[in-house]
Amino acid sequence: MDETYNGWTNRESWLINLWFGDDWTCVDDVRATREWVEEQFEGLESWIQDFIYQDAINWAELEEHARELEESA
C-alpha cells in the first residue's frame, strides 16, 4: 500500500511545502521554517497539539526539495 501523499512522504510534509514552499530559495529557508513551526507548536494549547503529528514532517525531504530548487534557479 502506497503511503505517500501527492508525491511527498506523507500529508504533513506535503502541507509544510504547500504553505511555506513558495517562499523557499535555499535549505536555510527550510531550516528557518522548521524553527518557526516548532516555536509555534510549543505555544499551542496541549489539546490543539494533539491534532498535529509534528514528528511526521520529513524535514530532510523538504531540505532536499529546496536544494533542487536552488540548483535549478
4-52 pLDDT, tens digit each: 999 999 999 999 999 999 999 999 999 999 999 999 999 999 999 999 9
Matching residue, cell 505517500: 4
Q: Which three cell numbers stand for residue 69?
A: 530548487
Sign, CA dihedral 15-20-24-27, equals negative
Q: Tell me, what's the pLDDT at 38?
A: 96
Q: Tell me, what's the pLDDT at 33?
A: 98
22: left (phi over 0), alpha (psi -120 to 50) or beta: alpha
